[in-house]
Amino acid sequence: MGAPPSRTGFLQSVRDSLVMTRRNLIRMTRIPEIVLFALIQPVMFVVMFAYVFGGSLQVGGTTSPDVYRNFLMAGIFAQTVTFATAGAGAGIAEDMHKGLVDRFRSLPMARGAVLTGRTIADLVQTALTVVVLVVVAVLVGWRIHNGVPKALGAFALLLLLGYAFSWIGALIGLSVRTPEAATSGGLIWLFPVTFISNAFVDSAKLPGWLQPIAEWNPFSASVQACRILFGNPGVSPSDAWPMQHPVWASLIWSVVIILVFRYLSVRKYRSATA
């Protein structure tokens, strides 16, 4: 007897989330510089790492620039999807600062729809950025070697990681007072997460005390999973479980992050608008 109301509530939540997603996508099209700057940054990273460091960093016993570029791209893809976190946090903080959240609260809509709509819209923007980045990667010499289906699986893991991290950004956006603080807070923790990892160098070359941190880093698991699925050069063998089973580790980490930070974000949203 209780199923129909639950279903109705769930469907209403989905509809509200899609409405908020559309609202955020329209907003992005009206401010094209948001999309433009999101595209420029990862392209700069590709060019900088591929051509500035490409001949000086050793991968698989060689300093070949071509080998490093293929090693590099999984890390750049992962960095790109996770750096969208700052945009998610800043957008939510801006809505809070301008009082839009109070207006949304006055409407008969699901409480979590505002946050879900924002994170889904950011996911769409991130996917478009990745498409452009793939073109740039191919131009600098990156190739996939395990077929298109596995490559699509790698990109799915990347987008799932980006979506998971956007919920961390949502929580940050709800916890600060200004969009500027959300942008700073959304980036400051991302730098150690992305650089204490296997994204740009073999984690075996890190100091001994840093290696376990890098190997159990959710970011590292996604990067390693993508390298395996792309058929690109990987890091040195490791006994750490995430490096032995990176696809499963990436999937598990992303799902856990989504569940935990969505719950915390929605609870924070309710208390902030109570």
Contact 250, 163 (CB under 8 A): no
Q: Is 50 exposed, middle or buried (0-12, 13-18, 19+ CB in 10 A)?
A: buried
Q: Work out the mean pLDDT of the chain and round it to a whole number.
A: 84
Neighbouring residues of 127: CB distance < 8 A, sequence distance ≥ 6: 159
pLDDT in tens, 90-116: 778 877 777 666 677 667 777 778 888
pLDDT in tens, 177-209: 787 888 788 788 998 999 999 988 888 888 989
pTM for the complete prediction? 0.87
pLDDT at position 62 is: 64
pLDDT in tens, 137-162: 998 889 999 999 999 999 999 999 99
pLDDT at position 58 is: 65
pLDDT in tens, 219-239: 999 999 999 999 988 788 888
Half-sphere exposure of 130 (CA within 13 A, CB side): 28
The residue with greater pLDDT, 105 or 82, is 82
